[in-house]
């Protein structure tokens, strides 16, 4: 019953790339772990959910834990989130729920699922593997709120997100999926600077874009935040620098200091990934022709793209993450995957002392000035027009089941995942008339 409700509601993970939740829960697990770390600095959406929807989340967490037959149900959050922990503990006690809270240190990326598995259980997910291979299933705390709503007959139609940075009124928004970023910015009082760039998501793993791109963006099921910021050379370089430039700079400037490897979170839990070796490999190969089935190139497939190597580690301002991403793309084009083996995994003895505080990220990215902004107020908004992408999750894009001119209501099914494909259904987020059906479905609100 619960799995059917999750499927029908079109729920995908709120904390990452949008893995379809029903597919993740079609298993049994020893540990059910809730990611409540709010890993990326500046984002406050999960804070809001914990503070204002703790009862609802605890109900759904307990229900999913029962579905998975989990022996341990654990909410992993940061120990200094005292207000949020109090709210969760109050709800746990009120419901007598079999749920514990694991308090993590304040480091990045505490919310990476493989890092969280290691923190909570001491187990290392195999390189190239997923948490269920060590008996764990992980979901984001905001996903649990969507599950609660699905249990009460509500499909995923709206999204909670943070808008912050260089805006007049930083806040939490609740808007229909498909709402334009322009509308979101207007709800925050507009930008405080004339010439800005933006991050769709968090400062480290979010997607950066220029002001010219901003109006083309819409809120999706996985939109966690919008950060408006001044143009910064370091971040702008990620947008503008092309792969040949990155490679040439790496060849000429990499000093093989190993810091990118020593601070790599996946290396620290024992994975055989060494970004400095990949950078060194660039000096002796023809790129892209020689990127092939090579043990060193294949190490790049283990990169989680957290960005510590380039935002914190590298003293030469090189871009190991971008190089790894490029290598991964080239290997994927050739159908080359990481081959699992039984190699022993030895976590780094220095891991505890090499964890990166989020404030270091903000300093490097030029965002420290926004660290203390109060982002607590919620504003709900019903836009007159939405443009809902047919692909906003891992897996196959949905197939439209409506036509131009159709009248729909919020919650109606408008896009169905292909049969037997990985994906999640998509629903109308407002009442209105379908005015366009392409890669996105546009709905215009009816006049009352």
CATH number of this structure's domain 158-232+366-383: 3.10.20.600
**Residues 396 and 384: beta-carbon distance below 8 Å:** no
Average pLDDT on 122-131 reads: 95
Helix, strand, coil in percent for the chain, rounding step 5: 35, 20, 45
CATH topology classification for 384-448 = OB fold (Dihydrolipoamide Acetyltransferase, E2P) (2.40.50)
- Please, which pLDDT band fits residue 366 given cuts at 50, 70 and 90? confident
**Residues 180 and 387: beta-carbon distance below 8 Å:** yes
Helix (H) or strand (E) holding 89: helix 82-95
Average pLDDT on 370-387 reads: 94
Whether 270 has a pLDDT exceeding 90, the answer reads yes
**Residues 29 and 70: beta-carbon distance below 8 Å:** yes
DSSP conformation class of 398: P
Structure tokens at 218: 């819409």
Could you give the percent of the chain with pLDDT greater than 90?
80
Query: Which of 279-288, 334-343, 363-372, 427-436 reaches the highest mean pLDDT?
Result: 427-436
Give the range among 28-37, 300-309, 360-369 with minimum mean pLDDT.
Answer: 360-369
The pLDDT value recorded for residue 313 is: 94
Whether 431 has a pLDDT exceeding 90, the answer reads yes
Residues near 385 by beta carbon (within 8 Å), at least 6 away in sequence = 180, 432, 442, 443, 444, 445
Whether 78 has a pLDDT exceeding 90, the answer reads yes
Residues near 228 by beta carbon (within 8 Å), at least 6 away in sequence = 163, 164, 165, 166, 167, 185, 188, 191, 193, 196, 198
Give the range among 93-102, 278-287, 306-315, 349-358 with minimum mean pLDDT.
Answer: 278-287
How many angstroms separate the CA atoms of 305 and 322, rounded?
8
Whether 448 has a pLDDT exceeding 60, the answer reads no
- Cα-based distances in Å from 251 to 85, 282, 313, 316: 48, 6, 17, 12
Where are the CATH 3.40.50.11540 domain residues in the chain?
A: 2-151
SS3 state at 279: helix
Where are the CATH 3.10.20.600 domain residues in the chain?
A: 158-232+366-383
Rg of the chain over CA atoms, in angstroms? Answer: 22
Whether 374 has a pLDDT exceeding 80, the answer reads yes
- Please, which pLDDT band fits residue 241 given cuts at 50, 70 and 90? low
Edge-to-edge, what's the strand order for the sheet holding 432-437? 385-389, 440-445, 432-437, 407-408
Could you give the percent of the chain with pLDDT greater than 70?
98
Superfamily (CATH) of domain 2-151: NADH-ubiquinone oxidoreductase 51kDa subunit (3.40.50.11540)
DSSP conformation class of 126: P
- Please, which pLDDT band fits residue 282 given cuts at 50, 70 and 90? confident
Where are the CATH 1.10.1060 domain residues in the chain?
A: 241-357
Q: What's the mean pLDDT when you consider all of the chain?
A: 93
DSSP conformation class of 167: B
pLDDT digits (tens, 9 = 90+) for 14-54: 877 899 999 999 999 999 999 999 988 999 999 999 999 99
- Please, which pLDDT band fits residue 90 given cuts at 50, 70 and 90? very high
CATH number of this structure's domain 241-357: 1.10.1060
- Please, which pLDDT band fits residue 243 given cuts at 50, 70 and 90? confident
| Exposure string for 88-119, b = 16+ CB within 10 A, e = fewer | bbebbeeeebebebbebeebbbbbbbbbbbbb
**Residues 174 and 196: beta-carbon distance below 8 Å:** no
The pLDDT value recorded for residue 339 is: 87
- Please, which pLDDT band fits residue 233 given cuts at 50, 70 and 90? low
Whether 332 has a pLDDT exceeding 60, the answer reads yes
């Amino acid at each position: 019953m619960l799995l059917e409700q999750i499927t029908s509601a079109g729920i995908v993970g709120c904390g990452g790339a949008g893995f379809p939740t029903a597919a993740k829960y079609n298993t049994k697990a020893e540990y059910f772990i809730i990611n409540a770390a709010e890993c990326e600095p500046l984002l406050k959406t999960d804070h809001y959910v914990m503070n204002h929807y703790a009862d609802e989340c605890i109900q759904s967490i307990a229900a999913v834990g029962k579905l998975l037959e989990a022996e341990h149900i654990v909410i992993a959050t940061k120990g200094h989130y005292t207000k949020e922990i109090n709210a969760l503990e109050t709800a746990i006690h009120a419901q007598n729920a079999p749920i514990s809270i694991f308090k993590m240190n304040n480091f990045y990326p505490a919310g990476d699922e493989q890092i969280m598995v290691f923190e909570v259980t001491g187990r290392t997910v195999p390189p190239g593997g997923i948490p269920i291979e060590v008996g764990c299933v992980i979901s984001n705390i905001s996903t649990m709120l969507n599950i609660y709503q699905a249990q009460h007959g509500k499909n995923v139609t709206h999204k909670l997100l943070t808008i912050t940075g260089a805006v007049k009124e930083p806040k939490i928004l609740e808007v229909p999926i498909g709402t334009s970023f322009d509308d979101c910015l207007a709800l925050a009082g507009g930008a405080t600077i004339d010439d800005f760039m933006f991050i769709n998501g968090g400062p480290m793993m979010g997607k950066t874009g220029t002001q010219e791109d901003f109006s083309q963006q819409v809120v999706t099921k996985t939109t966690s935040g919008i950060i408006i910021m001044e143009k910064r050379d370091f971040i702008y370089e990620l947008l503008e620098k092309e792969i040949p430039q990155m490679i040439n700079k790496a060849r000429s400037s990499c000093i093989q200091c190993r810091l990118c490897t020593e601070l790599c979170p996946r290396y620290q839990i024992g994975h055989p990934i060494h970004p400095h070796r990949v950078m060194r490999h660039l000096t002796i190969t023809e790129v892209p022709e020689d990127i092939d089935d090579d043990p060193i190139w294949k190490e790049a497939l283990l990169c989680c793209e957290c960005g510590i190597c380039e935002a914190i580690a590298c003293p030469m301002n090189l871009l190991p993450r971008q190089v790894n991403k490029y290598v991964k793309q080239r290997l994927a084009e050739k159908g080359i995957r990481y081959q699992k083996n039984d190699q022993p995994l030895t976590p780094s003895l220095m891991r505890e002392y090499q964890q990166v505080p989020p404030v270091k990220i903000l300093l490097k990215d030029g965002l420290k000035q926004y660290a203390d902004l109060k982002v607590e107020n919620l504003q709900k908004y019903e836009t007159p027009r939405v443009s809902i992408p047919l692909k906003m999750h891992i897996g196959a894009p949905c197939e439209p089941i409506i036509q131009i001119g159709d009248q729909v209501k919020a919650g109606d099914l408008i896009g169905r995942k292909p049969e037997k494909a990985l994906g999640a259904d998509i629903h109308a987020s407002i009442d209105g008339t379908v005015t366009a059906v392409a890669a996105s479905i546009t709905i215009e609100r009816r006049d009352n």
